[in-house]
């Protein structure tokens, strides 16, 4: 079980960092326009960037604490256990729902852009 958790941790971090690199890529291949800024104009790439950041946060904190507590039998002091437990579940649920919301907004954005009747 600990091997599966560590594999999910490593591949999840690598995949989300690569997604963040792709979605934050500035216009390197195009010539610079008159304006000083050159960023992606698609809103769906912004939503997918937010989803990747939220997934990275979910992988880093809640999964690492799960690996430490269950895999390595790390014992937490009683004074820190309540705070650690509440903070872990808050971060897990908040950023998990943020990731799902961003994916749904990207899907809705793509649908509205491609629809002729809207």
**pLDDT tens, residue by residue, 17-67:** 999 998 887 545 455 555 545 555 678 888 999 999 999 999 988 777 777
pLDDT at 82: 76
Two tokens, residue 67: 């690996």
Backbone φ, ψ for residue 72 (5° rounding): -100, 5
Helices (H), 59-115: 64-66, 78-114
Closest CA to 56 of 10, 5, 105: 10
Two tokens, residue 36: 């000083």
Whole-model pTM?
A: 0.77
User: DSSP secondary-structure letter at 24?
Assistant: T
What distance in Å separates the CA atoms of residue 40 and residue 44, rounded to the nearest whole number? 10
């Amino acid at each position: 079980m600990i091997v599966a958790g560590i594999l999910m941790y490593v591949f999840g971090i690598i995949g989300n960092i690569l997604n963040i690199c792709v979605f934050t890529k500035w216009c390197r291949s195009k010539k610079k326009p008159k304006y000083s800024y050159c960023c992606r104009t698609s809103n769906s790439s912004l939503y997918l960037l937010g989803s990747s950041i939220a997934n990275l946060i979910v992988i880093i904190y809640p999964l690492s604490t799960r690996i430490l507590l269950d895999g390595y039998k790390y014992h937490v002091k009683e004074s820190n256990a309540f705070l650690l437990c509440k903070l872990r579940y808050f971060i897990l649920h908040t950023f998990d729902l943020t990731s799902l919301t961003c994916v749904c907004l990207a899907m809705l954005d793509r649908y509205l852009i491609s629809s002729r009747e809207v």
